[in-house]
Amino acid sequence: HLQSTKTLANGVDMPVFGLGVYKMTERDVTIEAILKALQLGYRAIDTAALYYNEEEVGEAIRHSGIPREDIFVTTKVWNSDQGYDNTLRAFETSLKKLDMAYIDLYLTHWPVADKFADTYRAIERLYDEKLIRVPGVSNHHQHHLEQLLATANTAPAVNQIEMHPYLTQESLRAFCAAQNVAITAWSPLGRGSVLADATLQAIGQRRGKSAAQVVLRWHLQHGNIVIPKSVTPARIEENAQIFDFVLTEADMQAIDALHQDKRFGQNPDNFHFDF
Ligand code: NAD
């Protein structure tokens, strides 16, 4: 069901389904979307310092009336704040904006080449100080993870990566599975761009489900955590209706075969941001 969890490497249970809030910039729209999701039973919210909506996330959670400890909150340290001391400072800022006593999952947003190892050391310190419940990373390739794993006292429990039917991440998923690093799929719907695909439409028609529901179900059956984004109430509801059907092995393979190595975001080995 909607509040199903996955036990992470350090023993913490993380909801396998949540709301992503990237590009939710309008205050009222953001708060309404999060409140709608929480009312429907969503129990995880994925934000980032970069999204400039941590205040709204905190506010919506407080307004929901749901106890803080029943909601799993993820945020991330942005690229310009990386390095050991900067990360500790950025974390303080995020905590203040969210107005919370702790964060559930804190991630390095992207592996900034000369800084991501120090950034992760700071995240480990925050974990040791019990200011975060789970240490993790995002957009880390296998070689980034290998570098961290070589020296980490606590391995990252989550790697949040771009994944959808056009980018199935087979080898990185296999590596993460072997290391007990859980995968969260970002842009799980390929930002909506994969939904017109004829294969997904046909599977949906056979199951009485939308292409979006088929794709999200495919993620779950691959063992991923998913954080689809929408501000539209009907879609927030639709995206959650994925716990009442099962894709067959043939469906799963047909969707896997859609892989075309297509990224809608940047490649972690060669990324640049103009903001
Ligand atoms: P997504 O794949 O979740 O797609 C969202 C878009 O798909 C929506 O804006 C909407 O246009 C469309 N959509 C949503 N539900 C639909 C439905 N039921 N039917 C039809 N269209 C629908 O893309 P995303 O927002 O890029 O990714 C989800 C979340 O992942 C983000 O909000 C953010 O939290 C996270 N993210 C993380 C990173 C990272 O670097 N770690 C990068 C991008 C996104």
**pLDDT higher than 70, residue 152:** yes
Residue 115 included in any domain: yes
What lies within 8 Å, CB to CB, of 193 at 6+ separation is 166, 264
Does 272 reside within a domain? no
| Mean pLDDT, the chain, whole residue set | 97
Distance of alpha carbon 243 from alpha carbon 188, whole angstroms: 16
Token pair of 127 as six digits: 């974990």
Provide the pLDDT for residue 273. Answer: 78
**Which residue among 161, 189, 275 is best mutated to probe the pocket of ligand 1, counting the most ligand atoms within 8 A of its Cβ?**
189
74 contacts: CB under 8 Å, gap ≥ 6: 18, 44, 45, 46, 47, 103, 104, 105, 106, 107, 136, 160, 184
pLDDT in tens, 202-236: 999 999 999 999 999 999 999 999 999 999 999 99
Ligand 1 pocket at CB < 6 A: 20-22, 46, 109, 138-139, 160, 186-192, 195, 212, 227-230, 235, 238-239, 265
Comparing CA positions, the residue from 211, 149, 226 lying closest to residue 180 is 149
Quote the percentage of the chain above a pLDDT of 90: 98
At 269 the pLDDT is: 94
Residue 274 lies in a domain: no
The alpha carbon of 89 and the centre of ligand 1 are apart by a number of angstroms equal to 28
Instruction: Please tell me the total count of domains within the chain.
Output: 1
ipTM of the complex: 0.99
Say if 234 falls within a structural domain: no
Please state the atom number of ligand 1 nearest to the C-alpha of residue 186.
Answer: 30
Residue nearest to atom 9 of ligand 1 (CA): 230
Mean pLDDT of 110-118: 96
pLDDT tens-digit profile of 7-38?
A: 999 999 999 999 999 999 999 999 999 999 99
User: Which string of DSSP letters, residue by residue, matches 121-154?
Assistant: HHHHHHHHTTSEEEEEEES--HHHHHHHHHH-SS
Which residues are within 8 A (CB) of 225 and not within 5 positions of it... i.e. 6 or more apart? 6, 14, 15, 16, 17, 18, 44, 158, 182, 183, 184, 185
* Residue 154 within a domain: yes
pLDDT one-digit tens code per residue, 240-275: 999 999 999 999 999 999 999 999 999 999 998 765
pLDDT at residue 274, rounded to an integer: 61
Look at the alpha carbons of 267, 242, 72, 99 in this order and tell me if their dihedral is positive or negative: positive
Average pLDDT of the residues in 155-174: 98
Q: Where do we find the tokens 């992503």? A: 20
How far is ligand 1, taken at its centre, from the CA of residue 85, in Å?
31
Assess whether pLDDT exceeds 60 at residue 5: yes
For position 275, what pLDDT does the model report? 53
Query: Distance between CA 86 and CA 220 in Å, rounded?
Result: 35
Burial of 179 (0-12, 13-18, 19+ CB in 10 A): middle
Q: Which pLDDT score is estimated for 272?
A: 87
Residues taking part in catalysis: 51
Q: Specify if 122 maps to a domain.
A: yes
Q: Which domain holds residue 106?
A: 5-188+224-229
- What's the DSSP call for residue 180? T
Q: Looking at the domain assignment, is residue 237 inside a domain?
A: no
CATH number for the domain harbouring residue 64: 3.20.20.100
Residue 72 lies in a domain: yes
